[in-house]
Chains A and B, each alone.
Chain A
Amino acid sequence: MTKYLIRRLIQAIPVVIGISILTYAIMLLAPGGPVQRFANNPKITLAQKEAFKKSWGLDQPIPIQYGRWVGILNPDSQGVGQFLGPNGWPNFLPTPISGATNGVLHGDLGFSLDSGEAVSTRIANAALPTLVLAGTALILWIFSAIVLGVLAAVKRYSFFDQAATVFSYIGFAMPTFWLGIMLILIFGVSLKWLPISGMVNARISPAFGTTDYWTFFGGHPITAILDIAQHLILPVITLVVVNIAGDSRFVRASMLEALGQDYVRTARAKGLPGRTVTFRHALRNALLPVVTNIGLEIPFLFSGALVTESIFSWPGIGRLTIESIRNFDYTILMGIFIITAILVVLANLLADVLYAVVDPRIKF
């Protein structure tokens, strides 16, 4: 198992390197590019400009710029010495060994070109709201997809199954943002039942994520949580409806396959009641591929839902991404890209490991 994990991690390295090159290339090719944005931005201090210029190696050839951004090269040295960090060890090693603090490898993602804040701070602030929204939605949609898919498979060709089929066909074809708009129109504008934007009610509490907010949260936890829950309802419904479609089909197909297997016939021949046959023997097998699928959906918890967050003004990573694209805030985008890509690679690995955990047939 450990051996397998190490092998897989080593295999993932070229992919991650490729992603970082691609990310860097997109930024370089962008019209205007980071340099110009940064130089002309009045919000950025002179000291920041200096630090930026040095750490990004703006006066250096492109390979060196890239090397410094990644953190392989030491911006304080020249020539072959660039590969060594302040402590004399190779620069790419972790900070305690190499003494290096620059580049992605050491957690330095640079400054926002727009606001001048550290990219890592911006991303960290947006990550919690996304985790709340995406996490709630993910749990709900996986749960409902499993229930829906299993019921549809067990009652194959019934009215329920056909209704679920129609629902999922439409869910497939429906753009997320359209559903969001219609929900806002119905429940927000016409019926006025639910809030349609943001994460907290400004009349109840300070802006989410600020120190004041957490003080408020400490004082009135129930009010705060209820407030967030209210704001969660519409975006969560949007995400759940759109995502159930595909996943419930997947569960249904998987369950149908399991129900057709010989061991299900054996279980029935043993005299087990229908419920035991379905929910112990068939479901357990049907969920094996589903578990893998869930593993692959994990990066969503970070990258979030671009459009849903935008429509509902949810202060998460998705909205930060859209805003950064709109403002040409490349450093933030590069940070989000690289983290997402690493998460995708890790999620693939996690999916494999999960599969091995739940399926006794797979051993590494």
Chain B
Amino acid sequence: MTQNLSGPTGPEALQDDSAVAAAPSGTDYEVSLKSLSQWELAWRKFRQHRLAIIGLAIMAILVLAAMIGPFFLPYAFDNIPNPDQIVYGGRPPFCATYDNAKHVCQAFGLVHPMGETGGLQRDVLTLVLNGARVSLFLGFTSMAIGVIIGTIVGAVAGYLGGFIDNLLMRIVDVLLSLPLLFVILVVARFFSNAKDNVWAIILIFGLLGWMGVSRLVRSLFLSIREREFVEAARAVGVRDRRIIFRHILPNALSPIVVAASLIIGGNIIGEAFISFLGFGVNPATPTWGNILSNALTFILVGNWWWPLFPGVAIILTVLSVNFVGDGLRDAFDPRSRA
């Protein structure tokens, strides 16, 4: 903080001083004077966002657990220990013998750290980890599809303007005035009897979830289109496609990334929701929604551990993607300080 004070006097000192005055407080201004790219700067700010880092860590753990976890577990997700015997109630976490009528654990044991379900007697941890695989994959992939479509529609509407813009935006209006979940449910129902319908569900969320992004991208394009560097590119005869993808899009990317992170959480909850209602991923495939749906059938038995853990998994996942989203928003916000 004091290094400029022993420096030269006269104009150099003045120059130095004004640079100090402009530098944000408390930071090493020599570093902040170094030119950082937008992404480097964003990453520096993101790292200081505690919740975002925690969110990122939770995400990483979940993804890792979903990918390699099932290999370390003693049960397969479709393992049904006693296929010909339907047991009414399950066993709570760390309980070997459980009296479902009196709700007392008679013997403790390390089996089933998240408990065992009633009905088919499946291991809840195994179900949750396998569910994580499907739910996370679905959340990310459907987000990607939605964001790509939304970006293309928004870019075309915002860049071309006029009749095309009007037409596309009226279509968006129409799609947005229907409650989205209604439409998703109806369409999902068409596929809900298919055996392996994960991709169908992904496509439904992707193809019906782009409208918000398209509005955002359109408004970004409308403002960026008027900036000087775009005018310059147009003046020297750069083609439209190149202007859209090379000149405007990079400048619109950060709000799109933020919006995308928030869509993931929405889609994960959405999938759980439609699967829970029985219109989503085929019940034979464990997803968090399917597990909860089965849990509801047996709710009167009082197996609290059955719905608890998949629910906590959903909350943790959505919380962490939202934290990451918040961190990204702050990181890209030029008004927030590093």
Contact = CB atoms under 8 A, between A and B. Distances in A.
Check A-B contact in the complex, CB < 8 A: yes
Interface of A: 14-15, 18-19, 22-23, 26, 30-31, 169-170, 172-178, 181-182, 184-186, 189-190, 299, 303, 306-307, 310-311, 321-322, 325-326, 328, 333, 336-337, 340-341, 344-345
Nearest to A21: B174
Interface stretch (B11-19, B63-71, B239-247, B300-308): B300-308
Nearest to A324: B186
Contacts of A172: 265, 318-319, 322
B318 A173 contact: yes
A185 B302 contact: yes
B177 A181 contact: no
A19 B308 contact: no
B144 interface: no
Contacts of A30: 186, 190
A340 B182 contact: yes
A189 B311 contact: no
Given A18-B171, A169-B322, A182-B308, A189 B300 contact: yes
Chain A facing B: main interface SS: helix
B174 A15 contact: yes
A174 B315 contact: yes
Contacts of B278: 326
Given A18-B174, A337-B178, A175 B311 contact: yes
Contact of B177 (A182, A325, A326, A341): A341
Contacts of B177: 15, 19, 341, 344-345
Nearest to B326: A169
B260 interface: no
A23 to B, nearest CB: 8
A4 B113 CA distance: 63
A177 B186 contact: no
Contacts of B185: 306, 321-322, 325
Tell me what chain B mostly uses at the interface: helix, strand, loop, or mixed.
helix
B187 interface: yes
A310 to B, nearest CB: 7
Given A184-B299, A344-B177, A310 B319 contact: no
Interface of B: 170-171, 173-175, 177-179, 181-183, 185-187, 189-190, 265, 269, 272-273, 276-279, 292, 295-296, 299-302, 304, 307-308, 310-311, 314-319, 322-323
7 contacts: A173-B318, A173-B319, A175-B272, A175-B311, A307-B276, A310-B277, A322-B185
A31 B173 CA distance: 27
Nearest to A330: B186
Contact of A337 (B182, B269, B272, B317): B182
A184 B300 CA distance: 9
Nearest to A321: B182
A299 B174 CA distance: 16
B273 A175 contact: yes
A285 B316 CA distance: 36
A10 to B, nearest CB: 14
The 3 closest A-B pairs by CB, nearest first: A18-B174, A173-B318, A178-B311
A177 B174 contact: no
Nearest to B311: A178
Given A15-B177, A189-B300, A340-B179, A325 B307 contact: no
Given A18-B173, A182-B308, A307-B277, 20 more contacts: A22-B174, A26-B183, A172-B318, A173-B314, A175-B272, A175-B311, A175-B314, A177-B272, A178-B307, A181-B292, A181-B295, A182-B307, A185-B307, A190-B304, A299-B179, A321-B185, A325-B185, A328-B189, A341-B178, A344-B179
A322 B186 CA distance: 9
Contacts of A177: 272-273, 276, 292
